[in-house]
Amino acid sequence: VHEAYVARRLRWVAGDPYDVILVEKSRDALVASNLFSTVQIRTEKGEDPNVTPMAVDVTERLPRSVAAGASYASTEGVSVNASWEHRNLFGEAEDLKFGVLFGQEESAVTTDFRKPDIIGVGWDLVGNAAVKKEDANAYTSKGERLFWGLEYKGLQEVAFGFGLSLEHATISEYELQQRYTLIGIPLYAKLDSTDDLLNPTKGGRAGITVTPYTDPARTDLTFVSGRINGSYYQRLGDGDRFVL
């Protein structure tokens, strides 16, 4: 991890009065990057008693990970999936992930990419692409999807994003075959006030996405898709063994 990436996550400015809240926010930002297994920020003694040098000590996690899984549903049957991820591709927390899914009804190949601080601290370039095939009892669908956009995480708990998506699909229903190409402009906002990204024990998460779609070849195919989701976590007792 390049030192400059760590420095951009520090919330204080040299010369300002010491503020423990800014130190904690800096630690949270480094932990949230998912690049480090330990993060320590401490004060040190300097020659000038009125100036406190700050030491930032981080331990990098392994940048790559692989995952695999399997599932069974009485309606969709058996499916297996696998993924490979690199969380620090060029030393600035660039995240690249490839995934595959093979199932009795659905198969897909996906890729996701995120480049932090593309036009300033907190502005991330995000993109994903997918090629999917769905073979249901009533129809068969083959399609591709591409999305590029920007996401802003200026606040610790809130993120906003927007972008441009392109979707193409061919749907076969018995002897009827339909093709469509959709251009969308996803707009979304996310809130995460939980205490842990992977294992939350208190707090909540919420999100809203609004996407206008249109098919350039069919003026009658214009619509807006909206989605709202939320979750809340509450620790039961003093420990985190049981969470509602």
What are the tens digits of pLDDT across the range 95-151? 999 999 999 999 999 999 999 999 988 899 999 999 999 998 888 999 999 999 999
CB neighbour class for 44 (10 Å; exposed up to 12, middle 13-18, buried from 19): exposed
Q: Which residues in the chain show pLDDT less than 50?
A: none
Angle at 29 between CA 202 and CA 244, to 5 degrees: 10
Note if the pTM is more than 0.85. Answer: no
Give the model's pLDDT for residue 87: 93
pLDDT at 156 (0 to 100): 66
Place of tokens 């399609």: 143
pLDDT at residue number 32: 83
Contact indicator for 197, 34 with CB cutoff of 8 Å: yes
